[in-house]
Structure 1
Amino acid sequence: MTARLNEEIVVPRGILTVYAGPMFAGKSAHLLVDHPDQEGSLCLAPAFDTRSGASIHSRVGLRRPARSISCWPSDFARFRHILLDEGHFMIAPHYTGDVVADIAKSLEAGIDISVAGLDTDFMQHDFDVMARLRVLADRYVPLTARCHVCEAPARWTAKKRQTGHVLETGDDDLYEARCDAHWAPPD
């Protein structure tokens, strides 16, 4: 008689890559260029951000269809790789649950995850989601933009005018990238 060992199948943890920086730093472009394989991938974008429709879109013209979400997809395990754009938007009331916990669960299931998002808001405060993902990341890619005033490397997003909202979609109509010397709070 042969004894059979209960063999536990160990699924290797997925790899978490995080692209973070100010607006105009090319985060979405990096997300799409660094992960060109569309087969077996799921692209996600926050339902709150309607600027690009149901897609991940970069300023350099790259675009890939995406699922607009306000909660983690229940079919996440069907995919080998998940790309999430604008990760900083994944908070209540725009997201149901804890996206960082959802990402960790997906990583434990062996799925690679890549996230792009703003690291700080226009007042230089960390976005909680992005700060927590930075700690979990296997690969953290800090990006800079060019200062809209002097062209120096810029690591801050500046808001042109106060609107009363911290979490607000917009583009160069509302935001600029700024270096340390030229960043200032909005008027």
Structure 2
Amino acid sequence: MKQNELIKLMSDEELKRQLMLSQLIFLLLGIFLSIFFFESMEEWLYYLDWKPAEIILYGVLPGFLIVLIDMILILLVPEKYYDDGGINERIFRNQSIGYIFVISLLVAVSEEILFRGVIQTNFGYIVASILFALVHFRYLKKPFLLVSILFVSFYIGYLFEITENILVTITAHFIVDFLLGLIIRFKK
């Protein structure tokens, strides 16, 4: 049975539980691999650098830029190119702002710790960016969505390259997911 057929058989609650489970697995994998790949906690903590100006310049502003570009593309590109099988609709539609905030934060933290904090620091920018896009496998058969997630992945990876600050990428990722979640939530 294909993935989209399996997803259609799942209730919205089951889909949300699967999302939470996958993110907790990413988070635990990121923590476990951090212990394995970094010699000390201080070496890993180096990438968690609280620099508000840097976080705003390289996290907040790029997050808004990504959402703005996405919104322009949504207006210009036929809807069928943006169709992910209705998964994002089912996850965010009719949810509270608090739920969208929490799920967006969980996704941003877990994915960025794993893909930037561990994979990119140990295997490089290109490997991490491609793996990040491939993890979003529901986009693999949707060329427009695949190119979009590749662009976002390489852009966020680049932000980490120039700042070496995981808080920057968590912020950018969170803003993208949170704002797009709100847009889906309030879309008529």
Same fold (TM over 0.5): no
TM-score (norm 2): 0.25
TM-score (norm 1): 0.25
- Which has the larger share of strand? 1
Higher RCO (CA 8 Å, separation ≥ 6 residues): 2
- Which has the larger share of helix? 2
Determine which structure has more spread, i.e. the larger CA radius of gyration: 1
